[in-house]
Every structure is written in C-alpha cells, then in structure tokens.
A and B are shown apart, each in its own frame.
Chain A
Amino acid sequence: MLRLICLLCALAAPASAEEIVLGLSHDEVAITANFDGSDILIFGAVKRDAPAPTGEDLGVIITVAGPDIPVTVRRKERRLGIWVNTDSVDVAVAPSFYAVATNMPLSDILSTKNDNGARISINTAIRTFGQPDGYETDFEDALIRIRQGQRLYQTLSDAVLVEDETLFRTNISMPANLTEGDYTAEIYLTRGGEIVDVYVTTIPVKKVGLERWLYNLAHENAMIYGLMSLAIAIAAGWGASAIFTMFRR
C-alpha cells in the first residue's frame, strides 16, 4: 500500500496527461456453498486532456493480488529409500493469488527498474528475507511453479484488449481454491517503459452465508463447533440404524 501511495505522489507532481477511468463487473467475490471459481471483467478508459501522444505505444498492465500470506516451501530428498521433506525456506511475502494481464509482453511495455520498483511481475511480488545467495531462488521458483499449476498465479500476456488507445478490458478468472481477504486490483498505464498513471481498487473476497457461519464458528467457538459435529454424527448414526431396522420389519 505504502509503495503505491509514494508512487501516486510521484506521479501527481507532473500532472499526468493520461488518466484511468475504471469499471468492474462485480465489486466483490462471494464464496458460497457451490462456489466454483469466479470471472471478473475489468474494463476502463484512458481520459486525456490532449490528443494521445504518438511514438511510444500505450501499455496497459492489470494486476489482481490476493492477501499476502507467509508460506513455508519445503523440498523433498531421498532418505533411507523414501522421499522426505528436508530443507525449507520461509517466504515472508507471497500473495495467495496473483494475476498479471498485459496488452503486450510485459518486458516490452515496462522497464526492469520500474518492474522492481512497483513489484509488478510475479517474481518481484514474492519476497523472502534471507541471504541473497541464490539458495532461495529454487524455492521461490518452485512456489511460483506450483501455484501456476493451481491457476493461483497467472501471467496473461496479450490478455488486455485495447481499442483506439482509449478503451481497455480484460477478464481475470479466479479458481475455486481462493483465500479470503481483500484483493487488490491495480491498473498501470505505461509509455516507453515508464509508468504514467496508476489506479488501485479493492475487491473483497469472502465466504458468505452458511460457509461464513461455519468457518467463524469453527474458529471462534471451537468447542461448540466440535460438539455440533459430534451431535450430527451421532444423530446420523442413530437415524440410519433406526430407518433400516424399520425397513427390515
């Protein structure tokens, strides 16, 4: 958040010529009992006071990031003939979901310096605090690889559609195994590798209804939740026995 505020202040100074106007297909993602992933349409327009500058292409980068949750990445090694978890690295900052959508390959529209500064690509969004001796990179790569496999990390080149250098839209599809929290959607406009405008908005992702109630109960009133689970189990066991004895008669 802080880095964005700094960035916005920096950008505010030279009164940006191009500004973002944004819309979302829905303001929040509700995890219901039959939740099976969600598609969010992010669309908007570039507002200008003057005609669009010529020469350098307009870059549009849209990122959606889930809450940062520290994780431990473990590596298996063969010990006594079986595969056992041995080394591990704690990754202090790792978004639980991260999608980067661009209208052109990211490296064409954003300089490496700006990428590192604003932490836009997946590799820069993850952070381990340790000795920078390259030991952690294997673990970070593994984290990205596994989460890409689960569609939790997505790099979507050419996924943002830009019309007349003014209108843009993209579709971010979120898988079913989402973590709750406030997701941050960030939209960057770039010209020649430099960021010219940023727009930030949050999309809350939360369990609702029965899911919310059960989750809260399990964590806040664990004793009652446990007793309720047992009561249901005993009632079901008794019910099944009673119903089938009735059938046998």
Chain B
Amino acid sequence: MGELKLMKGNEALAEAAIRYGADAYFGYPITPQSEVIEYLSEQNPYERTGMVVLQAESELAAINMVYGAGASGKRVMTSSSSPGVCLKQEGLAYIAGAEIPCVFADVVRGGPGLGTIQPSQADYFQNTKGGGNGDYRNLVLAPASVQEMCDFVALGFDLAFKYRMAACILSDGAIGQMMEKVVLPDQKPRMTDEEIKAKYPWAINGRKNGTQHRIITSLDLDSAKMEEHNIHLQKKYKEIEENEVRYEMINCDDAEYVFVAYGSSARIAQKSVQLGREAGLKVGLLRPITLWPYPTKAIDALIKKGVKGFLSVELSCGQMIEDVRLACNGRVKAEHFGRVGGIIHTPEEVLEAMKKQIIGE
C-alpha cells in the first residue's frame, strides 16, 4: 500500500513523477510552481531511479528538451506557470503535430502578462483551446486536491502514451501551494531501453539492426499528406472525446440548479452546495476532471433530468462558461461568476451569485 504524507501540491506532483518511473524532468523556475524543480533537485532522483532532472535556460528550451526526449520514447515531464506556459506553446504545437507523448503541468497564476503570482484559473483558454498554431488538442486534467496532483501524473502519462500527445495537468497556485494529506503510490521501476524499443516502435532511439530509419516531424509540404495527417489527428481527438471524459457529480441527483467548477473553485463550490442545501435549495456541483475532453454529455444529461440553470464558477473573467453554454445550447440559463487578480471567492458569495444570477429572487 501507498505511503501517507503531508505535502504541498507541487511536491506531490514531483514525487509522483519519480514514483511513476518518469525518465526525465526539464523545467525552468517560476512562481508559484518552483517547488517542483526544487523538490526534484533535492530528492536526487538520478540516484533514486536514474531519472534525469535538468534546469533549462528557458521554458522554450525546457519544452524542446521534452520534445527530444519524448520523441525518443522516454517518459518526460515539465511544469511551469502561466507566462511560462505561453513560452511552451511553440513546443506544444510541434509536440501535437509530431505526436509526442509527454506530461506538463500549468500551476496557474493571474494574468494577463506578468499578472500576479496569486492563484487563478485564467489559463483555461490557453490550455483547452490550443495556444499554439494549428488544429490540435491537449488532454487537460484538472486536479482539485493534493491527492489528485499526485494521481494525475500517472493518469497523464498513461493517456499521453495511449494517444501519443501532451497531457496537461491544469492546476492553480492554491492547489500547488497548499499542504494536504496524500497517499503516495509505490515506486514503479523505470522502463528499460529494451522495453521502450519493443513497446514504442515509432520512437527515435537508434535504428534496429539497420532497418528503416524513423522520423519525428510535424512538417509535410505535400498538402494532401498534411490534410491526411490533420484528419488522423481529428479522428484521434474524436476517440478521446468518446472515451476519456471524466467528471464528478455532487448532490446532482435531485438538483434543480448546478454549479460547474473545477480545481480550487470546485472546492469552494462544494461548500456552497452544502450551504445551499442547508437553506433548502436543490443545488448540486458538476466538477469536470477532464477540461478537454469536456463533459458536454454530462451537462446534457442534467438538462434532460430537469436542471434549470448552471453557474460556472471560475477564478477568471469567464472562460469555461463558453463550454458550459455550448453544452446548454440555449436550452437553460448558464451564467458565469468569478473573482480574479488572485482573489479567491467565498462559498457565501458563490451561493449568492447562484441565487441572483440563476435562481432569481
């Protein structure tokens, strides 16, 4: 069984990478996620498991190191926070085009620009709607606890390798910095070079006995082939939308009004549900765990069950609300409530917003 520890979210993410048997981490310090690379450096994973940890000269360099190591079939991770993730977008577009598996974490801070170092969820667009060029998607997992910061490393790697794409752990400054109990998994051995060669024939790690060379690229100047490649990617994304949606429903069975919230906001909205129920309101919470693919069908099912309105609760000026509204498609009311700039909403004001904006008094 796993080991019980009190840890910061960022530390749990780092420890989970070592225990998952990750081969490398390439990163660049930025608040509020510098603990990831600090923890990894302090743990000396090169001695623990043989895992490489390297502080790159920039986020750009870090994501391109991930590109190279991931292209060679190894399990590689990076992490950053909002302005740093902007810099990684170039590499993420190439990673999508070249179909390289990897995991990256965005411990979101306020923006735009340098913004603030306080928690925010204003990177929803950046991570779920692209950010780099071209038609592509990244898998986006949203942890709401230190335990999920740990668990989603394994889930992220499993999905990234299953579909040959980047998996994003979209966290925020609060989840990254807060300490909670976490059950750590047992140490998994790193895959051997032979296992990697056998399991991932696409990976570039040296030809096998003079057989045909492998190429990892996002380029094809032949328009017909590039269209075919894009259709292949879209088919893969469709498959993921069918099979990989994850979410949690709290008090939704008889709910008439539902909060939709992920990460830190979901923790607060959960308390709002409790306060609302105490006041006799039939409120529930839909917590998307995957932000892409989005639980569109779950919202549809709730509407069919009689839910009359949704409040998207976010630490942003309204980003996820667009996906909630797409799912509602005008059938019921869907509004946004959010605090920004590093301010975190209170359960009371969230419940108040539900009453005012959705239920109506």
Do these two chains really belong together in a complex? no
